[in-house]
Chain A
Amino acid sequence: ELKVEQNPLFLSMQEGKNYTIYCNYSTTSDRLYWYRQDPGKSLESLFVLLSNGAVKQEGRLMASLDTKARLSTLHITAAVHDLSATYFCAADFGNEKLTFGTGTRLTIIP
């Protein structure tokens, strides 16, 4: 079965702290994507990870991919309130479509 699992599902963080969201997937994936969704809004693309060891950074967010472990991580550094959102990872298993994780709802507390 093609599955993508994220953890944690819910995360409350204090401003200024660091934390990591994990995305595990069930079989070989060519590409791994991270998206952000604000409440009631659509999905915004954050990162595309294409190969083992890939690392991408944008501001306080950094994503990495370990294809051998079938694991991607989204690391948040010195969190700020603006980062409060739901974050989704999605894997491309080569079957012409993306499989999405269930999302991690992140709340940054002042």
Chain B
Amino acid sequence: DGGITQSPKYLFRKEGQNVTLSCEQNLNHDAMYWYRQDPGQGLRLIYYSQIVNDFQKGDIAEGYSVSREKKESFPLTVTSAQKNPTAFYLCASSIDRGNSNQPQHFGDGTRLSIL
């Protein structure tokens, strides 16, 4: 079955540590996205990528970094510069951002906490 796989499901970060969240999709989608969700809140866009080797900052990119070396993969690194990383992180993909009428598909999320 096609879908989006996020790992790990739970992640703990120590002070000063960088951690990387994995997102892999086998839907052959061009566009991929990373969102952050705080408890009881909506989704805020961190980074997005339309094509391989290209990505753009979203609304809250500070303290995060991404790469898009393969179409299937869009890992997110939460750096030590992100002082309040505790949140639920959701990865999504869509066919493209052109004239597609398809919704974004979401992974199951990674819950990140500070130790």
Contact = CB atoms under 8 A, between A and B. Distances in A.
Given A42-B107, A88-B42, 9 more contacts: A33-B104, A41-B109, A43-B43, A44-B106, A97-B33, A98-B45, A98-B104, A102-B42, A103-B42
Interface in B4-55: 31, 33, 40-45, 48, 50
20 contacts: A33-B104, A41-B108, A42-B106, A42-B107, A42-B108, A43-B43, A43-B90, A44-B106, A45-B103, A45-B105, A48-B102, A48-B103, A96-B48, A97-B45, A97-B48, A97-B58, A97-B97, A100-B44, A101-B42, A102-B42
A33 B100 CA distance: 13
Given A48-B101, A50-B101, A97-B33, A43 B42 contact: no
Interface residues of A, number: 19
Main SS of chain B's interface residues? Answer: loop
Interface of B: 31, 33, 40-45, 48, 50, 56, 58, 90, 92, 97, 101-109
Given A96-B50, A96-B56, A100-B43, A42 B90 contact: yes
Contacts of A105: 40
Interface of A: 31, 33, 35, 41-45, 48, 50, 88, 96-98, 100-103, 105
Contacts of B43: 43, 88, 100
B109 A42 contact: yes
Q: Which 8 A-B pairs have the closest CB atoms?
A: A45-B103, A102-B42, A96-B97, A100-B43, A43-B106, A42-B106, A100-B42, A42-B108
Contacts of B41: 102-103
Chain B CB count within 10 A is highest, among A42, A50, A100, for A42
